[in-house]
A and B are shown apart, each in its own frame.
Chain A
Amino acid sequence: MKTIILGVGNLILGDDGIGIHVIHHLKKHIENKDIVLDEAMTGGMNLLDKIIGYDKAILIDAVNIKEVAVGEVKRFLIQDFTSVHSCNPHDVSLIEAITLAETLGDKHIPKKIIVIGIVLHEMPLEFTETLSPKVAAAIPKAVEAVISELNET
């Protein structure tokens, strides 16, 4: 089974880059030719392009859930998200991109798309490469969550 683990976010926008920081840490733990680690500073259609052709995709990204404390790590299936909006007006959602590919008969969409979300309450608006302490502290938990996901079939 071919799996892609994709860190999503922007490395120069502080906590938004958490997904990519997690990927950097995962590289120390994972060595398997069937598992690809990659980063995506993009969304929507470009994200679909990245995961197409794999059996399973694990996305690591920041999510905003007010009811959950900052730095908590949550697991979702992509189908769990119904009205998740992009901050980017020039793109479609990953869900829309997937539905489109399915409609056109694409057979290469991963059967399972999992999201490991690290909770933020505010999207960062200041350029920096540094994570805030609470979010940085989530890295080991997120690494663990991804590894236990790999053990699932």
Chain B
Amino acid sequence: MKTITIDPITRLEGHGKINIFLDDKGNVENAYIQIPELRGFERFSQGRRAEDMPQITSRICGVCPVAHHFASNKALDAAFNVEPTIAAKKLRELMYCGYIIYDHILHFYYLGGPDFVVGPDAPAAKRNILGVIEKAGLDIGKEVIKHRAYGQKITAILGGKATHPVCGIPGGISKGLDKNEVSEIKKMVDSCIDFAKFSLKIFDDIVLQNKDYVDLIKSDPYQLNTYNMGLVDDKNKLNFYDGLIRVTDQKGDEYLKFPGKDFYKHVIERVEEWSYMKFPYLKAIGWKGLTDGADSGIYRVGPLGRLNASEGMATPFADKEFNRMFETFGGTPVNSTLAFHWARLIELLYVTERSKELISDKDITSNKIRNPVGKPGEGFGVVEAARGTLIHHYKLNEKGLIDKANLIVATTNNAGAITMSVRDAAKGVIQNGNVNEGLLNKIEMAFRAYDPCFACATHALPGGMSMQVDIYDTKKKLYKTFHQ
């Protein structure tokens, strides 16, 4: 049989490329992760009909189409000066919960979890969903597949299509739910609640009961003492779909709370010559380089960022788990990067419980799902994508066409933190010029915790995570290269 090997690195120039620079003693001085950024979105959008933006932007990313769809939709609500109806908001949020259900399940069981379930030192070929099933059993595999599919089914019923929704319109949503659909969703949601609880139990049994793993989670290379950011409701409880952006400090206290439209009053982006990525930071704190602590404006978003930035979960079981996590770590905030996995499962439980509330709500079958739009203007839309705060900002002209469009994606918000986590993981495995074998894995664990979603083609012929690490000496001469 013919075998074709396509080098992952040449396939997408610079993707997942990590450069590590050593000092004259052979220890890590700096480490940089290089990620290509898609260009020209503003020009591409200019002159398009604003109401097409939820469809167009959901195609930017094969991973977060629902998050883009609704960030865009909310930006249009604001730009057309219209408040969606109560039923429309609830339908959108329910659909959003479906997306978080399948996205978080995929991450825990397929991508992040294998490091723990199969083990951080297991060979790369085993650290995947097949390795998880080999260890945990076929029945668990079937449950994983089933509940991921439920999340997608809920999204598809509400959104019209499984991957790229077509339902969102300014002022509401184009399709409501009938009674049959409600009972179908109810059944799936009940099952998802049990599965989320089961997933937390797996995390307990496999990770928290294992001292080596707990030590790893609490070890120095995986700690970052940054600010945290996430959307909260009026009681400062975590919310994915709506609310104010809350930022907490290193003590867990509120530092800022503001609506999405004020984002650029508080956050500014730093451009570094070595990277395509922009590094957002808190304006009033300032840029102190890639460093953590109260004097550095770098913040984290995503599951752990969100839990740290909120005062609890709005549903009972998830709130209990929220408290348990912080108690286990000895208070707020939790700074361990690997705790992102735990936070993600608590969020999974929250969205399943929240789905149950929404699908049981009397408004959910209402046919008042759209309000008429006002005059076109300017608008911001903010949601919490699975991997962090996502913002769309549009300016429309008087004909309702796009004049300016700008997006701040979740992984960009985490750019500084991801870079630091990669550097610190590298420091832990490179000493005096000696490179430990676990290098690639330890680095991968560091950035995988964030579940980053790099600008990418949705291009198919797929594979796992690709990565290349180049290590340079003090004269910037290539010292060693690792591939995976």
Name A's B-contacting residues (CB within 8 A): 8-13, 16, 19, 40-47, 49, 59, 61-66, 76, 79-96, 99-101, 103-105, 115, 117, 122-128
Judging by beta carbons under 8 Å apart, are A84 and B461 in contact? yes
Contacts between the two chains (Cβ within 8 Å), count: 203
Judging by beta carbons under 8 Å apart, are B16 and A80 in contact? no
Q: Let me know if B106 is at the binding interface, CB within 8 A.
A: yes
Distance of A65 Cα from B145 Cα, bound (Å):
33
Distance of A76 Cα from B129 Cα, bound (Å):
26
Chain A residues closer than 8 Å to B149, beta-carbon distance: 49
Judging by beta carbons under 8 Å apart, are A47 and B460 in contact? yes
Main secondary structure of the interface of B (DSSP, over half): loop
Mark out the residues of chain B between 1 and 44 whose CB falls within 8 Å of any chain A CB in the assembled complex: 1-6, 8, 10-13, 15-16, 36-41, 43-44
Name B's A-contacting residues (CB within 8 A): 1-6, 8, 10-13, 15-16, 36-41, 43-44, 56, 59-60, 62-63, 103, 106-107, 110-111, 128-130, 133, 138, 141-142, 145, 148-149, 152, 162-164, 387, 448, 451-466
Judging by beta carbons under 8 Å apart, are A87 and B129 in contact? no
Query: Can you give 23 A-B contacts (C-beta < 8 A)?
Result: A10-B458, A12-B44, A12-B59, A16-B458, A40-B163, A43-B458, A49-B162, A59-B460, A82-B3, A82-B5, A83-B8, A85-B465, A86-B463, A86-B465, A86-B466, A88-B62, A89-B111, A90-B451, A90-B452, A95-B463, A117-B461, A123-B13, A123-B457
- Which A-B residue pairs are the 6 nearest by beta carbons? A85-B8, A85-B463, A86-B462, A85-B466, A8-B460, A127-B44
Judging by beta carbons under 8 Å apart, are B60 and A82 in contact? no
Judging by beta carbons under 8 Å apart, are B129 and A92 in contact? yes
Distance of A85 Cα from B224 Cα, bound (Å):
30
Chain B residues closer than 8 Å to A105, beta-carbon distance: 138
Distance of A76 Cα from B459 Cα, bound (Å):
16
Chain A residues closer than 8 Å to B3, beta-carbon distance: 80, 82
Scoring B4, B62, B107 by chain A CB atoms within 10 A of each residue's CB, the highest score goes to B62
Chain A residues closer than 8 Å to B130, beta-carbon distance: 96, 99-100, 103
7 extra interface residue pairs, beta carbon distance < 8 Å, beyond A87-B11, A124-B457, A125-B36: A46-B162, A80-B3, A90-B387, A90-B452, A99-B130, A100-B141, A126-B39
Distance of A119 Cα from B40 Cα, bound (Å):
24
Chain A residues closer than 8 Å to B128, beta-carbon distance: 92, 96
Which B residue's beta carbon lies closest to that of A14? B457
Which B residue's beta carbon lies closest to that of A6? B460
Distance from A92 Cβ to chain B, minimum over Cβ atoms (Å): 5
Distance from B407 Cβ to chain A, minimum over Cβ atoms (Å): 11
Judging by beta carbons under 8 Å apart, are A90 and B453 in contact? yes
Chain B residues closer than 8 Å to A13, beta-carbon distance: 38, 457-458
Chain B residues closer than 8 Å to A103, beta-carbon distance: 130, 133, 138, 141
Distance from A94 Cβ to chain B, minimum over Cβ atoms (Å): 5
Which B residue's beta carbon lies closest to that of A19? B460
Judging by beta carbons under 8 Å apart, are B458 and A9 in contact? yes
Distance of A41 Cα from B59 Cα, bound (Å):
7
Scoring A90, A94, A124 by chain B CB atoms within 10 A of each residue's CB, the highest score goes to A90
Scoring B452, B455, B460 by chain A CB atoms within 10 A of each residue's CB, the highest score goes to B460
